[in-house]
């Protein structure tokens, strides 16, 4: 059984009409790991390994990333202290942004 939300969000590749506009972020499609270091005001250094995933979404009209620190397979990471997070960014082609403005206007006017 597939998850309807994931199925609606995920795309196999870029929309051909928008591929050129999205190639800046499209080149990162895949899964990556990173080493993170943060220096606090008192000089304490927090370190750990994280993961980031980039994928095509919204019928290939956008690239979404998901950042995770610590990486899910890293286990407990006391060296990170309270510096842990999940985050996401949606990078949308300009053509879709202009439509979003109109959609927001329509939603505001809906009863």
Mean pLDDT of 3-19: 92
Answer for the pair 48, 70: CB distance below 8 angstroms, yes or no: yes
Answer for the pair 83, 45: CB distance below 8 angstroms, yes or no: no
Question: Which pLDDT score, from 0 to 100, does residue 71 have?
Answer: 94
Mean pLDDT of 63-85: 88
Query: Looking at the predicted structure, is the pLDDT value of residue 84 above 60?
Result: yes
Residue 42 tokens, joined: 């008192």
Answer for the pair 35, 79: CB distance below 8 angstroms, yes or no: no
Please state, for a pLDDT cut of 90, what percent of the chain lies above it. Answer: 54
Per-residue b or e along 52-62, where b marks 16 or more CB atoms closer than 10 Å to that residue's CB: bebbbbbebbb
Over the stretch 33-73, which tens digit does the pLDDT of each residue have? 999 999 989 998 999 999 999 999 999 999 999 999 999 99
Answer for the pair 67, 31: CB distance below 8 angstroms, yes or no: no
Query: Looking at the predicted structure, is the pLDDT value of residue 80 above 70?
Result: yes
């Amino acid at each position: 059984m597939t998850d309807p939300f994931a199925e609606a969000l995920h795309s196999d590749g870029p929309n051909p009409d928008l591929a050129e506009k999205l190639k800046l972020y499209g080149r990162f499609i895949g899964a990556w790991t990173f080493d993170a270091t943060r220096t606090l005001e008192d000089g304490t250094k927090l370190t750990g390994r994280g993961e980031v995933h980039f994928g095509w979404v919204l019928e290939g009209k956008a690239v979404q990333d998901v950042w995770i620190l610590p990486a899910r397979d890293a286990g407990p990471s006391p060296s990170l202290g309270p510096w842990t997070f999940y985050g996401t960014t949606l990078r949308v082609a300009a053509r879709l942004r202009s439509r979003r403005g109109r959609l927001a206007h329509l939603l505001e006017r809906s009863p």
